[in-house]
Amino acid sequence: MANFSKQICVFLSLFVAFSLALDHNEPGFLKRQHSLIKPYTGSSASIPNWDYRDATMITNSFVRLTPDHQGKRGSLWNRIPVYLRDWELIMSFKIHGGGRTLAADGFAIWYTKQRMEPGPVFGSRDQFSGLGVFLDTYKNGPQAVTFPFITAMVNNGSMNYDHAGDGRQNSIGSCLASFRNKDFETSISIRYVKSRLTVSLNVDDGMDWRECFDVGGVTLPVGYFFGVSAATGDLADNHDIVGVKLYEIDAHRPQGEDDGWGTAVPSVSFFKPPLDNTDESAAGGFRNTAMSGFKIFLIFICALLGLGVCVVVGFVVFQKRQEQSRKRFY
Ligand SMILES: [Ca+2]
């Protein structure tokens, strides 16, 4: 009997594990127009629905954003805007190079209004509108953490990426992950469901996904583009993208739900401050600007109340003195 229950337990655990694995492998409805699946059909010089530029090179089994050479940049962008409210992007990649521990700079995964615009942020433009997830392989800042390091930033188009601090100033979440020079394929999942952004990694051998960070209150409008870009500096790496799968997630939204999502401005309702950033003046960002406005308003109200109390107390004291002087007079 004990054996039988043990068998049932094993069966149930296997079933749960299998369902979970299946859930992460096929989390929703695959959207082929936003996916990049081997073998990439089309001529060797083009991939349907995708554009690329600069150093990017297409092979039969991967797209190389940069080779392991100094001073290169490359990018790959989906051509079709994404009109999905809830989605999960799973990207498999291979970052490898001659440097055993020293390499640069890593790559960025984008969901932005702009596309195909080169610039200083992992090969793409700064002051972007939307989401950037950065898989950073080179430590620019002085912070005592090991690299590679993953951060993410939501931008309304006004903020600059914090290069000197490896993106920590505006980071909405981060984690450490060793993903360079692996013999097997490594993957990242970016899941955006009901304004919740969850980044998970599969960078260890096997099928184990682990959460990098999870943050709620994230607004990302529809109609933006997925892209990926990479850059090298004095140090370099091969930044290879093996595949991209975009799934539409059924979040069971009520029918006729308010849909101002096309014109929404990218934002995060709460801003998790960087771990080792104690310099308040350096903690810039549009949410902090809104916060200082609110602070000024509070200070103004307090000052007004204080003034009111002073006037009342002053008046009462004045009245009492008048009464006392009148008593003395009589
Ligand atoms: Ca860096």
Q: Are residues 298 and 268 in the same domain?
A: no
Q: Are residues 187 and 298 in the same domain?
A: no
CA of 94 to the centre of ligand 1 (A): 18
In a domain, 179, yes or no: yes
Give the burial class of 235: count Cβ atoms within 10 A of its Cβ; 0-12 exposed, 13-18 middle, 19 or more buried: middle
| Distance from Cα 177 to the centre of ligand 1, integer Å | 14
CA 187 to centroid of ligand 1, rounded, Å: 20
Residue 24 lies in a domain: yes
Instruction: Please give the pLDDT value at position 17.
Output: 47
CA of 132 to the centre of ligand 1 (A): 14
* Ligand 1 centroid distance, CA of 233 (Å): 10
Q: How far is the CA of 53 from the centre of ligand 1 (A)?
A: 22
Domain assignment of residue 4, yes or no: no
Q: Is residue 7 part of a domain?
A: no
Contact in structure between 137 and 105 (CB atoms under 8 Å): yes
The residue with tokens 């903020």 is 159
Does a structural domain hold residue 23?
yes
The domain boundary residue, chosen from 274, 294, 311: 274
| 136 Cα–ligand 1 center, Å | 5
Q: What pLDDT shows up at residue 317? A: 79
92 and 22 in one domain?
Answer: yes
Distance 137 CA to ligand 1 centre (A): 6
Distance from Cα 69 to the centre of ligand 1, integer Å: 17
Ligand 1 centroid – CA 50 distance (Å): 27
The one-letter amino acid code at 275 reads L
Region of 256 please: left (phi>0), alpha (psi -120 to 50) or beta: left
243/43 Cα distance (integer angstroms) = 17
**301, 269: one domain:** no
Are the C-beta atoms of 106 and 95 separated by less than 8 Å?
yes
**Residue 104 maps to a domain:** yes
Q: How far apart are CA 80 and CA 99, in angstroms?
A: 36
pLDDT category of residue 33 using cuts at 50, 70 and 90: very high
- Do 114 and 267 contact (CB within 8 A), yes or no? no
Supply the pTM of this predicted model. 0.76
HSE, CB side, 13 Å, CA atoms: give it for residue 75.
23
Task: Give the mean model confidence (pLDDT) for residues 243-260.
Answer: 87
Residue 21: pLDDT above 50? no
CA of 178 to the centre of ligand 1 (A): 14
Check if the beta carbon of residue 119 is closer than 8 Å to that of residue 105.
Answer: no
Do 292 and 253 share a domain, yes or no? Answer: no
Whether 5 is covered by a domain: the verdict is: no
Distance 237 CA to ligand 1 centre (A): 13
Give the pLDDT confidence score for residue 315 in this predicted structure: 79
Both 232 and 111 in one domain: the answer is: yes
Please check whether residues 187 and 259 belong to one and the same domain.
yes
CA of 71 to the centre of ligand 1 (A): 14
For residue 263, the CA-to-ligand 1 centroid distance in Å is 32
Q: What residues make up the domain containing 246?
A: 15-274
Count CB neighbours of 94 within 10 A. Answer: 20
User: Closest Cα to residue 29, out of 252, 248, 200, 271?
Assistant: 248
Kindly state whether residues 267 and 318 are assigned to the same domain.
no
Q: Which residue has the tokens 């092979």?
A: 59
Query: Tell me, what's the pLDDT at 297?
Result: 63
Placement of tokens 């009111």 in the chain: 308
Three-state SS for 241?
strand
Query: 124: CA distance to ligand 1 center in Å?
Result: 14
The pLDDT, as a whole number, for residue 115 is 98
The CA 57 to ligand 1 mean position distance, Å, reads 23
Which residues lie near ion ligand 1 (Cβ < 5 Å)?
136, 138, 140, 166
State phi, psi for 62 to the nearest 5 degrees.
-160, 165
pLDDT band at 71 (very low <50, low <70, confident <90, very high): very high
Is 56 in the same domain as 137? Answer: yes
How many independent structural domains does the chain possess?
2
Specify whether 235 is located in the same domain as 296: no
Q: Which one is predicted more confidently, 327 or 209?
A: 209
The reported pLDDT for the residue numbered 257 is 74
227 and 312 in a single domain? The answer is no
**CA–CA gap between residue 309 and residue 229 (Å, rounded):** 60
pLDDT of residue 24: 54
Q: In whole angstroms, give the CA distance from residue 62 to residue 44.
A: 12
Averaged pLDDT of the chain: 84
* Two tokens, residue 107: 């790559």
Expressed in angstroms and rounded, the spacing between residue 170 Cα and the centre of ligand 1 is 14
Per cent of the chain over pLDDT 70 is 79
CATH number assigned to the domain comprising residue 115? 2.60.120.200
* Same domain assignment for residues 157 and 98: yes
Other CB atoms within a 10 A radius of the CB of residue 307 amount to 10
Of 200, 204, 205, 148, whose CA–CA distance to 177 is shortest? 148
AA letter at 101 = T
In a domain, 280, yes or no: no
Cα 155 to Cα 273: distance, rounded to the nearest angstrom: 15
Q: Is the pLDDT of residue 144 over 80?
A: no
- 3-state SS string over 96-150? ECCCCCCCCCEEEEEEECCCCCEEEECCECCCCEEEEEEEECCCCCCCCCCCCEE
